[in-house]
Amino acid sequence: MSARTLAEACYMVASAIVTYLITAMAAWGYPQGGDTIWPIGLVSTAFVVGFGFKPFLLSWRADRAGRRDA
């Protein structure tokens, strides 16, 4: 795995962690809304990972093809 693909993977993981932490802090800061905040936050985390999947896949395919321009 090249540095480009590894960077994309780390970016996806870091984005998911930050989104989860924002959700946790929102639920902590407004405990009455925790039952609503958690499901929405977890769906948001899934969307963040989903949006990061295409750049990861493109960099992985470029690595497999041996291209340096991607």
Q: What DSSP letter does each residue of 18-33 carry, written as one string?
A: HHHHHHHHHHHH-GGG
**37 domain residue, yes or no:** yes
Position 2 scores a pLDDT of: 80
Angle at 65 between CA 7 and CA 54, to 5 degrees: 45
**44 domain residue, yes or no:** yes
- 8-67 pLDDT, tens digit per residue, is 999 999 999 999 999 999 999 999 999 999 999 999 999 999 999 999 999 889 888 876
Closest CA to 12 of 49, 66, 67, 64: 49
**60 domain residue, yes or no:** yes
**70 domain residue, yes or no:** no
Residues 6+ apart with CB under 8 A from 7: 59
**56 domain residue, yes or no:** yes
pLDDT higher than 80, residue 1: no
Q: Is the separation of the CB atoms in 45 and 23 below 8 Å?
A: yes
**7 domain residue, yes or no:** yes
**45 domain residue, yes or no:** yes
Q: DSSP assignment, residue 68? A: S
